[in-house]
């Protein structure tokens, strides 16, 4: 939004030492962000009023002419292709060094002295579009030169000065005033400026509307919930024509084109105080009756821009007894707009529901200056002020005009006056300063707040222009004082608060630790899935769909159930990734939903507990014969990091989706906290997966109850270890886990680790036989082990394997 400095000065006198740039900086720091400051005529530097002295055809180009112009300092030759050139014509002449746009398009170019078809040309006779004045002086064709003859300008006069383009504009960022409906006009900005510099704000001058009351105006407010206030009045004897020079200049200073005196007045009010208005041609309003109603379903309406809209019952319209005549708060109708021969108007000033206006503007693609303001929740009191001002201006511009009706003011429900009780101490503590009561009340008074002290309390009455959207809490009052005092004046201080260690979310900490181990140690990749699965997936896994919680309004057909486990989602990830990768190591950490296990209460108004939602970590490994062992190592690496020592068992009760003979469960006490298994062959076949796919799972919600977050650090053992290998042949049905238990139990005080490094199967070693090769690392905490001692233990371990699982020792 553009703010004119000259317009602001109409309401507040700025300090003499404040430059426009400083004004912009002060507004940005204390009120609203100013994105830039620009001189209105800066684009017209080095462009002057000149007079054509001579004109002759170009000897080498039929469409060009050689022109001699007087620029007030010299007679200069220019080559020009303008279609309307005449001797004696006043033109806009850009001297060498000026910046223009060729034919009004592209980037700015700097003019130089050149030759055009062999003729010298020093400068340029400009069309309006080439110097940014296309809106002010519309051209009839692409070759028309800007003709200034009718203005009687002085030859040699800078064009910006001649056109009175000497204003300074502040470029205001609209996003920073979305909660400030009072600042969508110059007067609201002036109020802020006056408060910042502690200057007097000139009262907004209005006059009471006097009427001869010969023509009754009727307003039927049928949609009172969408129109909080509606004022209207009939003015007869208006003469539509050009606006006075001051009004044209005001509008043009902020980039608004002059249309006619009546429309210009409504546009002026909009930019002056931020209140949109509309004028109807009364001859097209049946029986001078205004009806504020919802649109009919499929009602067609053509707005002033000649666009036809199909309306719905959500749209608010202004109508007469027969038809809609305006899209309320957005745009007037083509069927009732002001025309050159209009003599009698109905002037409207209203306050509409902001949500309704926003919906209408967005749904119809018709966002306007008017709707942009109404959707910010304007002050209903502003509508009456605007009507008084607009009527006074129209009567001033059209002396023959008369107000011929009483002012109709439909105002069914006035907004309550907001009073906020706070205290000086509260304000100072929040800001971190020690301001006196006088300073605080002075700041609030400059902003229009009424204040009253009552003991230690401060009662603040909010002005109507700040009460619709902006100010409602004591903290809002704190902000008002702080910004006007100046955030740059607040000395940073360390807070005086008790410093205590915050409570830690143990489950979240455990989750982070587990992820670190999986990614950094295990090289796994984390996946993220929805908490929803489809019933077809559950049925394919052979599970009971009835145990799952069904969603009433699923996002999609394949997301109709809340998951009870992470397996289904991870299995889908594996299927998707096998198109690109042969080896996969993925995991997910997320909640599952168990309806049969009650969780926490949903809330005070709930009808019971939510389902239990334990946090689970689970993963899939696709890596050939080593898949199971890789998954097992991941799980055990996590337990090592957590300093937990679960017992591992071959569990008989195996989930339906896993191999019944390849499932390992980890217990701490009587609670199963983790498992490792292979995907069931039927699912492997159904999903066309590789033969060996491993799945691991950790119940983090159970582990967090058992996990002591205080690490037990042990000194590094300073004695050397001894590593011996072993290779055995045994029945294929004997699991590595059974072998590992026997090995570790043979000498638990000195066996540090047991690592399987080879599994071999072949008819050469026997049917249903396999060969296992593994490292055994021996290490004592208190001494250096002798090889002879270790060898005895190692041999005894091998004998125990031969006895327990009938293993044959391979040499």
Same domain for 305 and 358 = yes
- Give per-residue pLDDT as tens, 425-434: 999 999 999 9
- Give per-residue pLDDT as tens, 71-95: 999 999 999 999 899 999 999 999 9
For 602, phi then psi, to 5°, come to -70, -30
Domain at 770, CATH number: 3.30.70.380
Q: What is the pLDDT of residue 493?
A: 79
Q: What is the pLDDT of residue 435?
A: 94
Mean pLDDT of 161-170: 90
For residue 212, tell me if it sits in a domain.
no
**Which tokens belong to 9?**
């000065």
Q: What is the pLDDT of residue 605?
A: 52
Q: What is the pLDDT of residue 66?
A: 95
Say how many C-beta atoms besides its own lie within 10 A of residue 450's C-beta.
Answer: 14
- Give per-residue pLDDT as tens, 381-429: 999 999 999 999 999 999 999 999 999 999 998 999 999 999 999 999 9
Same domain for 25 and 172 = yes
Q: What is the pLDDT of residue 481?
A: 97
Confirm if 635 and 676 have CB atoms less than 8 A apart. yes
For residue 204, tell me if it sits in a domain.
no
Same domain for 729 and 663 = no
Q: What is the pLDDT of residue 735?
A: 82
Same domain for 427 and 399 = no
Q: Select from 140, 162, 184 the last residue of a domain.
A: 162
For residue 713, tell me if it sits in a domain.
no
CA 320/CA 289 separation, integer angstroms: 5
CA 674/CA 632 separation, integer angstroms: 10
Confirm if 575 and 689 have CB atoms less than 8 A apart. yes
Look at strands 289-294 and 218-221 and give their pairing: parallel
Q: SS3 for 609? A: strand
Confirm if 621 and 584 have CB atoms less than 8 A apart. yes
Say how many C-beta atoms besides its own lie within 10 A of residue 235's C-beta.
Answer: 26
Q: Select from 345, 375, 410 the last residue of a domain.
A: 410
- Give per-residue pLDDT as tens, 354-385: 999 999 999 999 999 999 999 999 999 999 99
Q: Is the dihedral of CA 377, 6, 175, 450 positive or negative?
A: negative
Confirm if 255 and 135 have CB atoms less than 8 A apart. yes
Same domain for 760 and 624 = no
Q: What is the pLDDT of residue 609?
A: 67
Over 50: is that where the pLDDT of 174 sits?
A: yes
CA 91/CA 89 separation, integer angstroms: 6
CA 28 to chain CA mean position, Å: 21
Q: SS3 for 201? A: coil
- Give per-residue pLDDT as tens, 329-354: 999 999 999 999 999 999 999 999 99
Q: What is the pLDDT of residue 710?
A: 57
Same domain for 349 and 295 = yes
Over 80: is that where the pLDDT of 451 sits?
A: yes
CA 148/CA 150 separation, integer angstroms: 6
**Which tokens belong to 303?**
């707005």
Mean pLDDT of 269-279: 97
Same domain for 698 and 687 = yes
Same domain for 591 and 533 = yes
Mean pLDDT of 672-692: 91
Over 70: is that where the pLDDT of 709 sits?
A: no
β partners of residue 727: 773
Q: What is the pLDDT of residue 500?
A: 81
- Give per-residue pLDDT as tens, 515-544: 999 999 899 999 999 999 988 888 888 888
CA 468/CA 416 separation, integer angstroms: 10
Confirm if 98 and 122 have CB atoms less than 8 A apart. no
The radius of gyration of the chain's CA atoms, rounded to the nearest angstrom, is 42
Mean pLDDT of 606-615: 76
Provide, rounded to the nearest whole percent, the portion of the chain with pLDDT above 70.
98
Domain at 430, CATH number: 3.30.56.10
Q: How many CA atoms lie within 13 A of 267 on its CB side?
A: 22
Confirm if 453 and 412 have CB atoms less than 8 A apart. no
Over 90: is that where the pLDDT of 436 sits?
A: yes
Residue listed under structure tokens 């043979």: 746
Q: Is 475 exposed, middle or buried (0-12, 13-18, 19+ CB in 10 A)?
A: middle
Over the chain, what is the mean pLDDT? 91
Same domain for 440 and 359 = no
For residue 711, tell me if it sits in a domain.
no
Is the backbone of residue 795 left (phi > 0), alpha (psi -120 to 50) or beta?
alpha
Sequence-separated (6 or more) residues with CB below 8 Å from residue 31: 183, 192, 196, 483
Identify the CA nearest to 693 among candidates 702, 703, 684.
684
Same domain for 330 and 390 = yes
Confirm if 129 and 103 have CB atoms less than 8 A apart. yes
CA 28/CA 163 separation, integer angstroms: 30
H/E stretch holding 160 = helix 159-162
For residue 211, tell me if it sits in a domain.
no
Q: SS3 for 661? A: strand
| Range(s) of the domain holding residue 185 | 2-40+167-197
CA 633 to chain CA mean position, Å: 45
CA 61 to chain CA mean position, Å: 56
CA angle (67 as vertex; 66, 69 as ends), nearest 5: 160
β partners of residue 228: none
Q: Select from 489, 514, 549 the last residue of a domain.
A: 489
DSSP category for residue 333: B
For residue 203, tell me if it sits in a domain.
no
Confirm if 142 and 81 have CB atoms less than 8 A apart. no
Confirm if 693 and 622 have CB atoms less than 8 A apart. yes
Q: What is the pLDDT of residue 608?
A: 58
CA 488/CA 196 separation, integer angstroms: 13
- Give per-residue pLDDT as tens, 90-141: 999 999 999 998 888 888 999 999 999 999 999 999 999 899 888 788 888 8
- First and final CA of the chain: distance in angstroms? 89
Domain at 86, CATH number: 2.40.50.140
Over 60: is that where the pLDDT of 290 sits?
A: yes
The number of distinct structural domains making up the chain is 6
| pLDDT tier, 602 (very low <50, low <70, confident <90, very high otherwise) | very low
Q: What is the pLDDT of residue 600?
A: 60
CA angle (301 as vertex; 295, 307 as ends), nearest 5: 140
Domain at 330, CATH number: 3.50.40.10
For residue 496, tell me if it sits in a domain.
no
β partners of residue 318: 292, 326
Secondary structure in 3-state letters for 685-728: HHCCCCCCEEEEEEEHHHHHHHCCCCCCCCCCCCCCCEEEEEEE
Confirm if 157 and 48 have CB atoms less than 8 A apart. yes
For residue 116, tell me if it sits in a domain.
yes
CA 774/CA 751 separation, integer angstroms: 13
Q: SS3 for 461? A: strand
Confirm if 427 and 478 have CB atoms less than 8 A apart. yes
| pLDDT tier, 732 (very low <50, low <70, confident <90, very high otherwise) | confident
Same domain for 684 and 738 = no
- Give per-residue pLDDT as tens, 190-241: 999 999 999 999 999 999 999 888 889 999 999 999 999 999 999 999 999 9
Q: SS3 for 472? A: coil
Same domain for 278 and 356 = yes
CA 173/CA 2 separation, integer angstroms: 9
Secondary structure in 3-state letters for 539-600: HHCCCCHHHCEECCCCCCHHHCEECCCCHHHHHHHHHHHCCCCCCEEEEEEEECCEEEEEEE
């Amino acid at each position: 939004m553009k703010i004119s400095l000259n317009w602001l000065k109409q309401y507040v006198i700025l300090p003499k030492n404040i430059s426009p740039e400083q004004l912009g900086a002060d507004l940005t720091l204390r009120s609203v962000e100013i994105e830039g400051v620009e001189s209105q005529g800066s684009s017209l530097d080095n462009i002057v009023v000149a007079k054509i002295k001579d004109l002759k055809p170009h000897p080498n180009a039929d469409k060009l002419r050689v022109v001699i112009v007087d620029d007030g300092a010299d007679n200069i030759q220019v080559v020009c292709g303008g279609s309307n050139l005449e001797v004696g014509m006043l033109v806009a002449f850009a001297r060498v060094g000026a910046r223009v746009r060729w034919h009004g398009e592209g980037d700015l170019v700097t003019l130089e002295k050149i030759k055009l078809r062999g003729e010298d040309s020093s400068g340029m006779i400009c069309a309006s579009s080439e110097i940014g004045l296309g809106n002010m002086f519309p051209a009839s064709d692409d070759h028309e030169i800007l003709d200034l003859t009718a203005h009687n300008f002085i030859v040699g006069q800078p064009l910006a000065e001649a056109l009175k383009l000497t204003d300074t504009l502040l470029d205001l960022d609209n996003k920073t005033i979305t909660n400030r409906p009072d600042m969508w006009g110059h007067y609201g900005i002036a109020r802020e400026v006056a408060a910042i510099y502690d200057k007097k704000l000139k009262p907004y001058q209005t006059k009471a509307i006097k009427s001869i009351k010969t023509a009754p105006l009727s307003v039927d407010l049928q949609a009172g919930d969408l129109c909080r206030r509606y004022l209207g009045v009939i003015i007869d004897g208006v003469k539509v024509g050009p606006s006075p020079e001051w009004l044209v200049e005001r509008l043009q200073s902020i980039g608004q084109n002059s249309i006619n005196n009546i429309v210009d007045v409504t546009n002026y009010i909009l930019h002056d105080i931020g209140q949109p208005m509309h004028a109807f041609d009364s001859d097209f309003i049946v029986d001078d009756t205004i009806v504020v109603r919802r649109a009919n379903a499929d009602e067609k309406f053509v707005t002033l821009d000649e666009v036809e809209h199909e309306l719905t019952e959500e749209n608010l319209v202004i109508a007469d007894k027969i038809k809609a005549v305006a899209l309320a708060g957005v745009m007037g109708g083509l069927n009732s707009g002001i025309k050159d021969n209009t003599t009698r108007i109905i002037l409207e000033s209203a306050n509409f529901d902001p949500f309704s206006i926003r919906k209408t503007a967005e749904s119809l693609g018709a966002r306007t200056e008017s709707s942009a303001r109404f959707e910010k929740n304007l002050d209903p009191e502003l509508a009456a002020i605007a009507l008084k001002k607009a009527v006074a201006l129209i009567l001033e511009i059209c002396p023959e005009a008369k107000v011929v009706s009483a002012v109709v003011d439909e105002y069914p429900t006035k907004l309550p006056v907001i009073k906020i009780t706070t205290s000086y101490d509260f304000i100072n503590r929040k800001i971190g300063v020690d301001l006196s009561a006088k300073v605080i009340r002075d700041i609030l008074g400059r902003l229009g707040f009424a204040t009253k002290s009552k003991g230690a309390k401060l009662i603040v009455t909010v002005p109507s222009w700040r009460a619709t959207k902006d100010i409602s809490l004591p903290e809002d009052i704190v902000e008002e004082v702080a910004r006007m005092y100046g955030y740059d004046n607040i000395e940073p201080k360390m807070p005086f608060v008790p410093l205590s260690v915050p409570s830690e979310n143990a489950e979240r900490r455990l989750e982070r630790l587990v992820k670190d181990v999986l990614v950094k140690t295990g090289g796994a990749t984390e996946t993220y899935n929805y908490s929803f699965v489809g019933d077809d997936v559950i049925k394919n896994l052979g599970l009971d769909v009835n145990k799952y919680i069904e969603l009433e309004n699923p996002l999609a057909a394949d997301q109709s159930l809340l998951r009870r486990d992470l397996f289904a989602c991870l299995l889908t990830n594996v299927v998707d990734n096998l198109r690109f990768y042969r080896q996969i190591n993925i995991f997910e950490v997320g909640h599952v939903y168990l309806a049969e296990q009650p969780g926490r209460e949903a809330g005070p108004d709930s009808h019971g507990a939510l389902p239990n939602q334990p946090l689970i970590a689970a993963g899939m490994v696709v890596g050939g014969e080593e898949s199971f062992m890789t998954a097992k190592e991941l799980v055990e690496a996590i337990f090592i990091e957590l300093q937990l020592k679960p017992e591992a068992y071959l569990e008989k009760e195996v989930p339906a989706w896993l191999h019944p003979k390849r499932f390992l469960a980890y217990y701490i006490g009587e609670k199963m906290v983790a498992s490792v298994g292979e995907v069931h062959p039927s699912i492997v076949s159904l999903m066309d997966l590789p033969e060996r796919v491993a799945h691991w799972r950790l119940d983090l919600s159970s582990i967090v109850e058992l996990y002591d977050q205080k690490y037990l650090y042990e000194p590094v053992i300073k004695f050397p270890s001894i590593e011996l290998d072993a290779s055995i042949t045994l029945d294929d049905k004997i699991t590595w886990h059974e072998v590992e238990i026997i090995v570790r139990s043979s000498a638990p005080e000195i066996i540090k680790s047991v690592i399987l490094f080879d599994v071999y199967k072949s008819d050469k070693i026997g049917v249903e036989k396999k060969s296992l090769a593994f490292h055994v690392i021996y290490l004592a905490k208190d001494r250096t082990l002798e090889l002879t001692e270790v060898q005895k233990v190692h041999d005894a371990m091998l004998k125990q394997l031969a006895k327990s699982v009938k293993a044959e020792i391979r040499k």
